[in-house]
Amino acid sequence: MTTAPKLWTIDPALEARESFVEFEGFKTWVAVVGDEATERERGQLPLLLLHGGPGACHDYLESLAALSATGRRVIFYDQQGCGNSDQPDDPARWTVDFYVREVDAIREALGLDRVHILGQSWGGMLLMEYLVTRPDGVVSATIASSPASMPMWMAETGRLRAMLPADVIAVLDHHEAAGTWDDPAYEAAVNVFYERHLCRVIPTPEFDARSFAKLARNPQVYRTMNGPTEFHIVGTLRDWEILTRLDVVDEPVLLTSGRHDEATPMQKAAIRERLPQAEWVIFEQSGHLSHAEEPDRYMAVLGDFMARAETGRVTRRGDAAPGAGLRPPLSAGAGRLTGRPGNI
C-alpha cells in the first residue's frame, strides 16, 4: 500500500523563506532557499526556477535546492492556478502571455536584476517565451527537457506511445476516445508510459510524488493548456511553437535532457540548431526529470554552467562559431539513479 505524500508547502528541511507576490488580483507563492548576504559575499547570482505542467507546482524541482550549498539563492514559486498560489476557477486566465507577465512580476518583487533562470518542461517553454521578449539581466538560461514545438512533441510522444505493449495501447485508445481520463485503468496505463519516459526510478522521489498529488487535486491549468496526459494533447498549447522566434535570443543557454526523455533528442536538436550558442548535455539514465533521477551529475553540470556564465566563460549568440548549432550533445556519463530502475 502506497502512503500518500504530505502536501506541505515546501520541504521543511530546506528552511525556505515563504512569501506571496500580488499579481493581477491574486497571490503567487514564493519560497527562497539560501541567503542573499552569503550570495553577495561569494560573488554569485540567484537561480529562479520555472516549473512545468503547466500546473505541476514547484515541488518536483526541490532537489535543485542543493545548489544553495554553493552560496547562491535558489528561488521557487508556484505559478498561479496551482500548488500554494491562488487558484481562481477561471480557465480563460491560463495563457502563455499571463505566465510570461508573472515571471516579470516575480523578478520585480524580489529585486532579481541579474539572475539565472531554469525552466523545466513547460517551464522551459515559458522561459523561451520570456527570452524572446528580450528581458534585461538574464545571466544564463537553462532549458530542461522542454519542447519548442508542440506538433513535434505530439509526433514524438506518439511514436513513444506506439512502442508500449499492445494491451496498454488498447486501454489508452479506449479511454481517450471516451474521454474517461480519470478512470483508474487509464491512469494505470498512462503510468506505464511515465515509468519509461517521465521518471525512471522506483520509488518515485517524495517531492515528485507531492507534485503529482497536488496536480491531481486541481488539474484545471494542466487540462486547459495541455490535456489529460503528456501524450494526449488537446489543450490550448496544441499548436504552440517558438522555433521560428528563437533567433533573437542572445543569452548563454544550457539545454539538458534525458536519454529516454519524452523531450526526445530530435526535439532538443531543433532547439540547438536555432540557438547555436547553446551547450547541450544528455543524462544517460534519465527520462524527463534528470534533475531528480541523476541529481549529483545534474547539479554538477548546472553549477559549472552558472559559474562560467558569471565569469564570462560561456558563449553568446554573436560568439558562436559557424555550424555550432549542429554539434552533437555532450554526455553526462552514467550517473547514479536516486532509486532502483523501474520495469522498463
57 Cβ contact partners less than 8 Å away, ≥ 6 residues apart: 51, 78, 82, 83, 84, 210, 211, 214, 215
> How far is Cα 106 from Cα 307, in angstroms, rounded to an integer?
23
DSSP string, 116-156: EEEEETHHHHHHHHHHTT--S-EEEEEEES--SBHHHHHHH
Residue 80 DSSP label? T
DSSP string, 12-63: GGG--EEEEEEETTEEEEEEEES-HHHHHHTT---EEEE--TTT--SGGGGG
Residue 69 DSSP label? G
Check if the beta carbon of residue 278 is closer than 8 Å to that of residue 183: no
Check if the beta carbon of residue 89 is closer than 8 Å to that of residue 19: no
What is the signed CA dihedral for 242, 127, 123, 61, rounded to 10 degrees?
150
Residues with a known catalytic role:
121, 261, 288
User: Reduced to 3 states, what is the DSSP secondary structure of residue 168?
Assistant: helix
Output the CA–CA distances (angstroms, integers) from residue 151 to 4, 113, 224, 238, 240, in the order listed: 35, 35, 17, 7, 7
DSSP element (H, E) containing 256: strand 253-258
> How far is Cα 145 from Cα 149, in angstroms, rounded to an integer?
12
* Cell of residue 19, nine digits: 512569501
* Cell of residue 48, nine digits: 529562479
Check if the beta carbon of residue 288 is closer than 8 Å to that of residue 339: no
